Structure 1
Amino acid sequence: MSSSKTYQCLSCRLKSSIWQNTTSSGRRQFHASSPAKARKRVYPSIKAADLEQPQFRPYTEREKKLLRLKYTPEQMKVIEAGEKAITAEDMAQQGRMRTDPMRIEYLDDFSTMRPVLDRPVTDQDLQGDELVEGENRSSRGGASKNPQQKEDAEQKEETDPHMLRLCQQTGMTKEEIRKIRVKNLVMHRVVNQTRMGKIQSLYYLTIAGNQDGMVGIGEGKAAEDEDGRRQAMMNAVRNMKPIPRYEERTIYGEVQGKVGASVVQLSSRGPGFGNRCQHLIFELARAAGISDLAARTPRSRNKMNVVKAAFQALTSQRLPEDVAKGRGRKMVDARSVYYGGQVL
């Protein structure tokens, strides 16, 4: 039985012939780039076991001699043990140094003692150019007081009953109280409605800190400006509390404080990050001696509640030692172990 082809019109025959010619010659590309198959390059898969593991170059005798001049024999043993324990792969992944022009120079030499950061400042550190600079700064700020005015101010401080009472309550001397950093953060007028009418007063919220791990907040309210400021300052000095600091520059992890409808979230940051937060938390962190901090206030930004919530967050930190004790673990500081147990 012979099969016959179906009848096609002339236009259908032309379309089929044109389609066959175009498919054989290849479709036209509507973009200038090459096809995906031409762009894709297939690389051979290499197993990790076939790769050569990088190794550290051993110390030469000259390098060991120079290191012995700088470190003790116990520290040299610890350094050699650390070189053997740390692999070159970990150093390549985690020990990369920034080479861009905006890098931060915060690498420290732990074999030396820095006068300001590693120990408290003494009178010997303040001798020399710093005293001269302070004198020049005071002279540039305005005319210096007369000797008679200085004597009157000193006598007034000695006979001030509020200062004497503050020294007795805190156990600090007048010189220590003068070195405390005090700053007024909130000041506004309040009104109390009584049967005698409206009584107006001035409200002050003040912070006080020694910039070395102690900070406090105080409130004061009085009809006179000077009385309210003094009351807030003395309450802030009385309420000073120790603040835990990691490496004496930031906090431990992330903490949160809530007062009223205000929520403050504080996070620790690396060296050189700075205090990137609003001005109220910035002043509180600077008074406490914290230099690397990030803060968020996702809810209400009432000034009084924000300061109180930040103070609550700073004082409610959980130390790693407490967490380790609660879990029945032992925590070891790798930095102190690596440098021979010497805490700088």
Structure 2
Amino acid sequence: MSTTKSFQCLVCRLRHAAQHPPIRRQFHASSSSQARKRFPSVKASELSEAGYSEYTPREKKLLSLKYTSEQMKIIEAGEKAVSAVDMAQQGRMRTDPMRIKYLDDFATMRPILDRPLTAEDIEQAQRGLQEGRNPGSKKRGLEATPVEEEKEEVDLPMLRLSQQTGLSLDEIKRIRVKNLVSHRVVNQTRMGKIQSIYFLTIAGNEDGMVGIGEGKAAETEDGRRQAMMNAIRNMKPVARYEERTIYGEVEGKVGATIVQLSSRPPGFGNRCQSLIFELARAAGISDLAARTPRSRNKMNVVKAAFQALTKQRIPEDVARGRGRKMVDVRNVYYGGQVL
């Protein structure tokens, strides 16, 4: 018996290959794309309006038993206003947090999820409201408890700070607060060494007001809170040219530290060390250059920069001191207003 393969023409080979495609090797557990079920794609315009049919006379009669005539007119007007085609084409599933946890068109009453209210339930709720009790407590199988008024806890130190500064609590919360310096200090007494933690904090509304505050306490949180309140209490206005930089060049000196601040053109940015950068950002300054040619003690740098920002001389003060009148040539200083 011959084991050689019989000769096939090219047409037969192509026909056989078309009828028996090669089996591809699967590298994952899921089935191949050919073996998956195919569902016909349906366009929104092809959806039938059967799911959005109008109310039948029987349904309207049942609704009239539950709703008044005015409410029925509103329901009919709403049904006419909303097109079934628009519902089919533009309908979307809700993704907001207030959505219900199950799909329902609210057309049928469910005995567990939707418990209908009876006249007895309404009387009980009204009686509970008159007596000052929670009307929904008995429905859940709980004993009725008096309704307690929710009172927000008032922070007395923050309330006192609001009264001292004239700022509301919301404005105080929006103030930018940054702790710049913190280290441990020791006070030698006859009873021994008493350790405390020192904090230097800045506060600003990023709109021309900035302040610095110091705090010291045995506990970290107490010292930080004390420094924050002192910074907010010590906030002072800072003169800003075009609400982005300072007027000319100013200098501040505290101890052996000297800080030199210079104005810069728009887009220059705050090119200075981190301590002065945070102070300028809290004050709402975006274009500034600074130099510290001498000592760079952190506490003195912050204090000298704050001193330099608050002692600026604006052109109006210079003109008044010289007995002259300032003319706003660029319409920038007075914002285009003629005085």
TM-score by length of 2: 0.54
Task: Establish whether residue 241 from structure 1 lines up as the match of residue 214 from structure 2.
Answer: no
Is the 2:177–2:202 contact (alpha carbons within 8 Å) kept by the matching residues of 1? yes
Pick from 168, 171, 175 the counterpart of residue 170 of structure 2.
Answer: 175
Distance verdict in 2 for CA 1:209–1:161, change over 3 Å = same
Distance verdict in 2 for CA 1:337–1:211, change over 3 Å = closer
1:1-344 paired onto structure 2 within 5 Å: 158-336=153-331, 341-342=336-337
> 1:155, CA displacement in angstroms?
6.6
Is the 2:242–2:333 contact (alpha carbons within 8 Å) kept by the matching residues of 1? no
SS in 1 for 2:330: helix
Distance verdict in 2 for CA 1:335–1:161, change over 3 Å = same
Q: CA RMSD in A?
A: 2.1
> 1:335, CA displacement in angstroms?
2.0
Higher helix share: 1
Deviations 1:291-328 (A, max 9, x none): 00000000000000000000000000011111112222
TM-score by length of 1: 0.53
Residue 316 of structure 1 aligns to which amino acid in structure 2? K
Residue 331 of structure 1 aligns to which amino acid in structure 2? M
> 1:341, CA displacement in angstroms?
3.6
Deviations 1:37-67 (A, max 9, x none): xxxxxxxxxxxxxxxxxxxxxxxxxxxxxxx
Distance verdict in 2 for CA 1:234–1:155, change over 3 Å = farther
Residue 281 of structure 1 aligns to which amino acid in structure 2? I
Residue ranges of structure 1 left out of the alignment (5+ in a row)? 1-153
Residue 267 of structure 1 aligns to which amino acid in structure 2? S
Q: Quote the Cα distance in structure 2 between the aligned partners of 1:215 and 1:335.
A: 28
SS in 1 for 2:203: strand
Residue 164 of structure 1 aligns to which amino acid in structure 2? L
Distance verdict in 2 for CA 1:317–1:340, change over 3 Å = closer
Q: Quote the Cα distance in structure 1 between the aligned partners of 2:225 and 2:289.
A: 31
Q: Quote the Cα distance in structure 2 between the aligned partners of 1:188 and 1:256.
A: 27
Residue 293 of structure 2 aligns to which amino acid in structure 1? P
> 1:231, CA displacement in angstroms?
0.1
Is the 2:242–2:332 contact (alpha carbons within 8 Å) kept by the matching residues of 1? no
Aligned to 1:141: none
Deviations 1:107-153 (A, max 9, x none): xxxxxxxxxxxxxxxxxxxxxxxxxxxxxxxxxxxxxxxxxxxxxxx
